[in-house]
Chains A and B, each alone.
Chain A
Amino acid sequence: MTARERGAAIDIKGATKRYGNFTALDDVSLHIEPGEFMTLLGPSGSGKTTTLNVVAGFTDLTAGDLAVGGNSIVALPAHKRNIGVVFQHYALFPHMTVGKNVAYPLTLRGMDKQARDRLVVRALDMVKMADFAHRYPSELSGGQQQRVALARAIVFDPPLLLMDEPLGALDKKLREWLQLEIKRIHRELGTTFVYVTHDQEEALVLSDRIAVFNQGRIEQVGTGRQLYDEPTTLFVAKFIGESTSLRGTAQTSGNETSLTIAGQKIVANGKLAGGGKPVVLLRPEKLSLAGTNTPPAAGQNSLTGEVSEAIYLGSGSKYQVTLRDGSVAIVRSSLEATPFSIGDTVDLRWSVVDAKLLADDDRADMTMT
């Protein structure tokens, strides 16, 4: 049996959950491949945790279907689903030792003591906590508790592991180290992982694919690279990585859209399929700064602004440029580029092909969590 075959495929179809007038999940559909590391990413209240609770069996669906390994599990109660769950606050049983905690799912399955002990040791070894079997959870640090919780969730070899912001309560250094541990464990087990987080960096580090949630819907599903380079909505573009969005008076001619911003005209390839208001989206590393006296190259757009913040990062520099319409652009430049300082009047330059045309959306501004 190869590692990939041990994980189960998950199919969420038209999942809807309403609480009175509030719609927590709005017709969510998502397919997860066996053995895949899928991250549900979104701000708080976006429906990602609700989705996880639905899969775990803690929350019933108002409508829709849910299948694990091809079989619908909507009607199954949580204890019959055989799914591992890791909670944000560890949820270790405080009255049991680490060993008893990890053995609990095996005890429930009526396994004899010898087989149980062997699996407990194996699971604790995997999270590097084997020396702590006789300790109580209250005697462990947060990171250690979370590793025990992980061991408890994988010890019964579930085909699917759900993790609800498991590193949310830990400090940055520990979080980064545990991210790599989780990645390693995922590789070793071959189990399907569904991971909930609001931290886009964490999502990029861990995931095979990311589903971006917003207001109870999935905005886009794709690899980190796809979401960064080819966002389909302004919300996704702003949630993943840094970006600059430009708005202005729009005109469409042929397969080209132009925006007039404070008297200056810029162009972008393509046009919006719907009737929405267009926004030009630019990633910081696609932008460059130039003195206003140098003319732009062919195929380049140019907008005049003033440097309002200049940060030296070692590997390069980061600038904030306030444009004439008041909007702020974020620019990352390499070490070789000409340095500018706060107050300088500069031209913001980029190639037409590097700009992304997206429909405007006020909801996209609610990305802060």
Chain B
Amino acid sequence: MSQTSHTPTAGGDHSRPSGAVQGPQRRLRLAAYPSLLAMPALLLLIAAMGYPLLTVTLRSFSDPAWGLQNYVWFFSTPVNVTVLWRTFSIAAWVTIVCVIAAYPYAYLMTAVEPRLRLVLILCVLVPFWVSGVVRTLAWVILLQDSGIINSVIRLLGFDGVKLIRTQTGVVIGMAQVLLPFMILPLYSVMRGIDLRLVQAARSLGARPARAFLEIYLPLSLPGVFAGAIIVFILSLGFYITPALLGGPRSTMLSTLVQSQVLSLLNWGRGGAMGVVLLVATFVLLALAAPLMRQRHKQASRS
């Protein structure tokens, strides 16, 4: 506030001498400290995220006794390391499948007329409104050995494929559930790409494929990265879909955490698994960060 001579301190100063201008000043106070407006969300995050996370981390070092024994146990048990690796591998596959499926779909959304675009957006959002359990059960029906997919394959004269209780089945199911998280950020980036840039590239002598690869694709990458990170991180923590579609050979880390904490009441080991997953995710994000740093600003459409 420019009319006050002393430096305003955070949290508001009630000691301000009262005067004729106090009314408008009081009203301005909230606007002067925009960080105050974020307080409700911040408090919720601290209460619902920060505190439990701190507890889990603490217990991983202290339960049943202080020390690193839970981490030593985690890395010295081969099945844990295998499952950790498998968790990241499944998340990577789900991300790849989502990018491949979402990219043309999001592009189509930018290219069609508004009414058709609305239909396409609804196609993305409607499954979003259906519970994940229901959608996963739908995949059980489709993927099982006597399900529709296998029936069609046999009808075409091929041998049936084992889909349910395999890693492939888990990837298919998870990719479908997570697809909207890839399509929506991709669409919002693609919508901002000026298609005249592609025309310009064509006028300069670029074949359509080359104009796409050298102009459109690089400009859409921020959307790919944003979507990929969301899908990858959500995949790491998936529980229901791998539990219903997977078998013992496609167990993911969240299932192990669940059995440690809820079945064996071993909070220390479960917490250690969670911390390992969290740290591994941060490391991966740190490695991916330079890829996403862009020197240019996106040119706006108009």
User: Contact residues of A with B, CB < 8 Å?
Assistant: 56-58, 77-85, 87, 89, 91-95, 104-105, 108-109, 136-138, 152-153, 156
Instruction: Say yes or no: A104 contacts B204, CB within 8 Å.
Output: yes
Whole-angstrom CA separation of A83 from B200 in the bound complex: 11
Instruction: Say yes or no: A95 contacts B199, CB within 8 Å.
Output: no
Shortest distance from the beta carbon of A113 to any chain B beta carbon, whole Å: 17
Shortest distance from the beta carbon of B302 to any chain A beta carbon, whole Å: 7
Q: What are some 26 contacts across the A-B interface (CB < 8 A)?
A: A77-B202, A78-B203, A79-B202, A79-B205, A79-B206, A80-B205, A84-B203, A87-B200, A89-B196, A89-B302, A91-B196, A91-B197, A91-B199, A93-B200, A93-B215, A94-B297, A94-B298, A94-B299, A95-B296, A105-B204, A108-B210, A137-B296, A137-B299, A138-B297, A138-B299, A156-B204
How many of B's residues come within 8 Å of A, CB to CB?
25
Closest to B198 in A: A91
Q: Which residues of A contact B199 (CB under 8 A)?
A: 56, 58, 78, 85, 87, 91
Closest to B202 in A: A78
Closest to B196 in A: A91
Shortest distance from the beta carbon of B180 to any chain A beta carbon, whole Å: 27
Give the contacting residue for A93; candidates B197, B208, B210, B295; CB below 8 A. B197
Instruction: Say yes or no: B204 contacts A94, CB within 8 Å.
Output: no
Instruction: Say yes or no: A108 contacts B206, CB within 8 Å.
Output: yes
Whole-angstrom CA separation of A84 from B201 in the bound complex: 10
Whole-angstrom CA separation of A293 from B219 in the bound complex: 74
Q: Which residues of B contact A153 (CB under 8 A)?
A: 203-204
Give the contacting residue for A91; candidates B200, B206, B218, B219; CB below 8 A. B200
**B154: CB under 8 A from chain A?**
no
Shortest distance from the beta carbon of A282 to any chain B beta carbon, whole Å: 40
Instruction: Say yes or no: B202 contacts A57, CB within 8 Å.
Output: yes
Q: Which residues of B contact A87 (CB under 8 A)?
A: 196, 199-200
Beyond A93-B200, A94-B299, A138-B296: 20 further Cβ-contacts under 8 Å?
A57-B203, A58-B199, A58-B203, A78-B202, A78-B203, A79-B207, A85-B200, A87-B199, A87-B200, A91-B194, A91-B196, A91-B199, A94-B297, A95-B219, A95-B296, A104-B204, A105-B205, A138-B299, A153-B203, A156-B204
Instruction: Say yes or no: B215 contacts A56, CB within 8 Å.
Output: no
User: Contact residues of B with A, CB < 8 Å?
Assistant: 194, 196-197, 199-208, 210-211, 215, 218-219, 294-299, 302
Whole-angstrom CA separation of A81 from B203 in the bound complex: 8
Whole-angstrom CA separation of A91 from B215 in the bound complex: 11
Closest 4 CB pairs of A and B: A105-B204, A91-B200, A85-B203, A138-B297
Whole-angstrom CA separation of A343 from B172 in the bound complex: 84
Instruction: Say yes or no: B194 contacts A89, CB within 8 Å.
Output: yes
Instruction: Say yes or no: B296 contacts A136, CB within 8 Å.
Output: yes
Shortest distance from the beta carbon of B78 to any chain A beta carbon, whole Å: 45
Given A91-B196, A94-B219, A95-B218, decide whether A152 and B296 contact each other with a Cβ distance below 8 A. Answer: no
Instruction: Say yes or no: B210 contacts A56, CB within 8 Å.
Output: no
Shortest distance from the beta carbon of B163 to any chain A beta carbon, whole Å: 41
Q: Which residues of A contact B298 (CB under 8 A)?
A: 94
Closest to B295 in A: A136
Shortest distance from the beta carbon of B292 to any chain A beta carbon, whole Å: 13
Shortest distance from the beta carbon of A363 to any chain B beta carbon, whole Å: 29
Instruction: Say yes or no: A108 contacts B204, CB within 8 Å.
Output: yes
Shortest distance from the beta carbon of A335 to any chain B beta carbon, whole Å: 45
Whole-angstrom CA separation of A79 from B205 in the bound complex: 4
Whole-angstrom CA separation of A136 from B219 in the bound complex: 14
Q: Which residues of A contact B296 (CB under 8 A)?
A: 94-95, 136-138
Closest to A85 in B: B203
Whole-angstrom CA separation of A156 from B200 in the bound complex: 14
Whole-angstrom CA separation of A215 from B287 in the bound complex: 58
Q: Which residues of A contact B295 (CB under 8 A)?
A: 136
Shortest distance from the beta carbon of B220 to any chain A beta carbon, whole Å: 11
Instruction: Output the residue of A87, A94, A137 with the most chain B CB within 10 A.
Output: A94
Given A89-B194, A94-B298, A95-B296, decide whether A82 and B200 contact each other with a Cβ distance below 8 A. Answer: no
Q: Which residues of B contact A58 (CB under 8 A)?
A: 199, 202-203
Shortest distance from the beta carbon of A146 to any chain B beta carbon, whole Å: 13
